[in-house]
Structure 1
């Protein structure tokens, strides 16, 4: 039945202890004469409910493209599959596959580029549907949220009834979801992937038989190096989570890094970190009065970056770091919007700005009639949970993310000296040539490509792209064995067999070539500057230095130029 909860329940496990009496944990907020309560899931507090939407990046990509549910979908990043739908998996598509192999396994596969803004924007209606059923929702990432299970279970009669009601709410919003409930957050997230309710006190028993790889499957709860740790543990013979949990905490701490200690606590169904020793000081709340009021996402994103910078300045002065952030917005009509985001590691200014942008994008672009009825007049960021700065960075060789933070500060310093445009980053864009597929964006701005990379782009250069692009495109000469120039005909074919390449005063014999591939652009406007016959070809040189052994050539106006070098 649509919306029915088909999860399993592990309540038949023997030795189930009774649920201890727990005090309600909440934070009271008073602003502008209004009083409200925000539910808080403390690390170590009992019974956490995790709601997971399987394959959310693929689901969001399909919804954005208006595809039917029967169409296989895969999401790409760096030319590899990072998410795919269940139908695509049934055809053999897996995460980590290259684009061509995925298309070979599933010819009808729809490919979309990774877009976290799209994922967050389309996930917001689901979060709102859950929040309308049970308050106190915290978003870990688009596709995964958590909340305190105790209040929901008391209101609906049981944890099973609460799970079924939430699945129905998500189904009514147009998506599928699975529920996991356990004592600890990480255990609940793993249980959600199995639609399981783990009885009180049996989290370690539930985790013990699971593969060790489950400790790295959820990116929102793990550090980037978790995959390397899991691979190492597997090679050491620790194939199950229970094998790793059997080690003592001292053995793990003395032999592995900081992330291994956190993973070990997760394997034992313990809180990954102890509860915060202090409440966030009230002066850490930062607020921005929008004048004029904000109606567009780009304007809201700018305000979000400004607030993120101010918040992290205040946190740094207090010697604190934020791991859970509340984003508030007030509108001219008096509407009060709020959402909590949780992160496994302390948020950086970029992380904070991203989450603010995602949340505002979701609020301002909703199409279900629940979008704000008036422009945003106030934006507010409030740290819900803080830790001592560096408390989660215990490695002997430097803290997690320390090198990235140092590099970021250096780049910002360069921007301050030379101007914002002096530092730019590349964004994958749409286009036919390798240079067209890169959009340079100023550091700190929203990473928006000049053209949609998910479009077909007929005539696009086949993968892989050159490792090095030659921006000046030096002139070269492609010749036959007897020295005659090789050209491209109107039918996009070589007029003779290429055998030699001359570049300046040097000449190489060809050991192979591919192409030519025509680029048909603006053929309907023959007088346009870019309507001339253009084609690309790849050539492999004999006895050339390794970095320039394989070249990408571009042909235009009866002239060959070198456009790129392959590794």
Structure 2
């Protein structure tokens, strides 16, 4: 949220209220087989957020289950946001439906103090028939937690206020499990750990949580001030009045935005969605992003806001009707800190895998569990990078290509970290050499690889030349590769450099 104090307003159980279910019922709003919100009657029966649906039904058989509709939640919440903007403060962020945040310094002076500001926010939301609570602190995270109890955290006291809370409030299940196993049960004890040790053991995700526990923003300060270069837009000709095409366009340009930020190695703390209307007006809404919203989630939020604007008549207030341009503008960019995805090819790494990997890292070290990142290069070792689980690949990566002379499939099963000394000889026992024109001095007959014994050569392919960075004398390399099939069923990838043979990889 930037420097200064932060005000957060919270409407409890908004997903339940937006579902249209009766408040007296035991209601659970679910997404992906997990409870995301529940009514007071459901909580009285033992249902809790993040609980699996089958467990919730076991605790409350009469539970009324509703599938989450994020667009409906945005439609229900948007009138509240507009009312707060009109009556309390002019500019705020939507963290998620039911939760808003805004800088408190200016509005608190206007309303006579932080307590008066919080009370005014709660009263403004109540005017539309919603119960609300408000909290203030130095960080968005602390203010959101304080809003649940309606507290105002004194300036500079975020870390002290958070200290008694269990580490589970940090919202990272695998980190919580690890810390609990290590005997660290409170946020205060976690904050007391040395920062360098936290980074080494828990990676980027743990480092961000550690900053939060110490009362600092989880992400580092923005390294860019101009974000117009990453702004994406979609024009409609003629002006579009239907919401479906606009929502589809929102998803497309959201994917384009994410791609741009990924190339820049950045994430945005918040995202401004705006529409330019045919009558010349512009409507905007700010969403909290922090690198966590997928393209589909952005599209759902845009769709919900547009529907709310349409229901309120805001889109038809002028003469001409329709939307001529949709714009997504990222704000407060910072360096990407390593949200973990795609360990085994899925879009999101399963929580069970994350927990298991984190346990192994806790026992054996942060680099004990790695994921594979593919890149460019001609040899098999050059095309693969091993990145610790939970980190972003910040190392030097070769471009995707094209790479003339790249080793074709099938790829070797084992690539040696260091080439193994080898000998390739003919029937007379003489070393086989390769001329400058890639001609063999004799047919290979015997192969000896250090640590793997001797084998007769049954067949071969190559040699293939590799001449790289010839313009740089210090870094230039001239080698040739051969594939050797041994009579014992094994197969090898050999390299000859300066007349000496090496085993680079093994097949099978």
Q: Does the alignment reach a TM-score above 0.5?
A: yes
Q: 1:120 to 1:385 in 2, by over 3 A?
A: same
Matched, 1:400 2:337: no
TM-score by length of 1: 0.56
User: Which deviations, in whole Å up to 9, do the C-alpha atoms of 1:66-89 show, x marking residues without a partner?
Assistant: x43322311123444332012221
**Paired position in structure 2 for 1:169:** 124
Change (3 A) 1:351 1:89: closer
1:115 to 48, 65, 69: 69
In structure 2, how many angstroms separate the alpha carbons of the residues matched to 1:358 and 1:403?
Answer: 32
Matched, 1:382 2:329: yes
2:269 is aligned with 1:311 = no
CA deviations on 1:472-521 (whole Å, 9 max, x unpaired) are xxxxxxxxxxxxxxxxxxxxxxxxxxxxxxxxxxxxxxxxxxxxxxxxxx
Give the Å deviation of 1:296: 2.2
Cα contact 2:38–2:47 (8 A) shared by 1: yes
Could you tell me how far apart the structure 2 residues matched to 1:77 and 1:47 are?
33
Structure 2 equivalent of residue 448 of structure 1:
none
- The CA RMSD over aligned residues, in Å, is 2.6
Q: Find 2:115's aligned residue among 143, 154, 160.
A: 160
- Radius of gyration: which is bigger? 2
The equivalent position to 1:179 in structure 2, one of 128, 134, 137, is 134
Does the CA-based 8 Å contact 1:183-1:200 persist in structure 2? yes
| Preserved contact between residue 77 and residue 98 of structure 2 (Cα < 8 Å) | yes
Q: Distance in 1 between matches of 2:33 and 2:166?
A: 28
Tell me if the contact between 1:284 and 1:383 (Cα under 8 Å) persists in the aligned partners.
yes
Question: 5 Å matches for 1:454-465?
Answer: none
> Does the 8 Å contact 2:220/2:334 carry over to 1?
no
Question: Structure 2 vs 1, CA of residues 57 and 334 (structure 1 numbering), >3 Å: closer, same or farther?
Answer: same
Identify the residue that residue 247 of structure 1 maps to in structure 2.
193
TM-superposed deviation, 1:209: 1.2
CA contact (8 A) 1:363 1:372 kept: no
1:348-363 → structure 2 map (5 Å cutoff): 348-363=294-309
Kept after mapping to 1: 8 A contact 2:26/2:41: yes
Native 8 Å contact 1:325 1:342 kept in 2: yes
Deviation of 1:264 after TM superposition, in Å, equals: 1.0
Aligned pairs for 1:218-367 within 5 A:
226-316=172-262, 318=264, 320-345=266-291, 348-364=294-310, 366=311
CA apart distance, 1:262 = 1.0
SS in 2 for 1:173: coil
Q: SS where residue 23 of structure 2 aligns?
A: coil
For 1:171 and 1:94, the matched residues in 2 are separated by 25
Return the alpha-carbon distance in structure 1 between the equivalents of residues 218 and 307 of structure 2: 31
Contact 1:326 1:338 in 2 (8 A): yes
Give 1:60's match in structure 2, choosing from 18, 27, 32: 18
Aligned-residue offset at 1:91:
2.8
Distance (Å, rounded) in 1 between the aligned partners of 2:313 and 2:347: 43
- CA distance in 1 between counterparts of 2:293 and 2:35 reads 27
Structure 1 partner of 2:89: 134
| Distance in 1 separating the partners of 2:31 and 2:69 | 9
Report how many aligned residue pairs link the two structures: 344
**Taking structure 1 as reference, are residues 271 and 321 closer, same or farther at Cα in structure 2, changes over 3 Å only?**
closer
Shift of 1:360: 2.8
1:90 aligned to 38, 44, 47, which one? Answer: 44
Segments of structure 1 that go 5 or more residues without pairing to the other structure are 1-40, 217-225, 394-398, 409-567
| Range that drifts further, 197-206 or 328-337 | 328-337
